Amino acid sequence: MTSFGVVARMRRIFRQKKIGHTGTLDPDAEGVLPVCLGKATRLVEELSRGTKTYRAVLILGIRTDTQDLSGTVLSRSAVSVTEQQAEAAVLSFRGRQMQMPPMYSALKVNGRKLVDLARKGIEVERKPREVEFSDFRILATELPRITFEVTCSHGAYIRTLCSDIGDRLGCGGCMESLLRTRVETFDLADALTLYEIEEKTARGETDFILPPEYFYRDLPAAEVRDSALKVTLNGRPVSGTDLFFPDGVTAPERIRLFTADGTFIGVSRKEGRLYRIEKYYMETD
Q: Looking at residue 120, what is its pLDDT?
A: 79
Q: Which of 26, 68, 164, 242 is catalytic?
A: 26
Question: CB of 35 within 8 A of CB of 192?
Answer: no
**In whole angstroms, what is the distance from residue 111 CA to residue 262 CA?**
44
The pTM of the full predicted model, rounded to 2 decimals, is: 0.86
Classify domain 212-280 at the CATH class level. mainly beta
Q: Which helix (H) or strand (E) holds 175?
A: strand 173-183
Q: Domain limits of the chain?
A: 1-50+184-209, 51-183, 212-280
Whether 190 is catalytic is no
* 285 residues of the chain, pLDDT tens digit each: 788 889 999 999 999 999 999 888 877 789 999 999 998 998 888 888 889 999 999 999 999 999 999 999 999 999 999 999 999 999 999 999 999 988 877 777 777 788 777 787 878 788 899 999 999 999 999 999 999 999 999 989 999 999 999 999 999 999 999 999 999 889 999 999 999 999 999 999 999 999 999 989 999 999 998 888 888 888 888 988 888 887 667 778 999 999 988 899 999 999 988 999 888 888 755
What does the angle CA 236 – CA 237 – CA 238 come to, to the nearest 5 degrees? 120
Specify the CATH number for 51-183; select among 3.20.20.450, 3.40.50.360, 3.40.50.170, 3.30.2350.10.
Answer: 3.30.2350.10
* Fold held by 1-50+184-209: Pseudouridine synthase (3.30.2350)
Identify any residues that bridge with 148 across adjacent strands, giving them in sequence order.
56, 138
Name the amino acid, one letter, at 1.
M
Is the fold of 1-50+184-209 the same as that of 51-183?
yes
β-partners of residue 271 are 274
Q: What is the pLDDT of residue 128?
A: 92
Residue 13: predicted pLDDT = 94
Report the pLDDT value the prediction gives residue 284, as an integer from 0 to 100. 59
Cis link prior to 144 (omega < 30° from 0)?
yes
Query: How confident is the model at residue 174, as a pLDDT?
Result: 97
User: Can you give the pLDDT at residue 144?
Assistant: 98
CB-based contacts of 179: which residues, under 8 Å, 6+ apart?
29, 30, 31, 54, 55, 56, 188
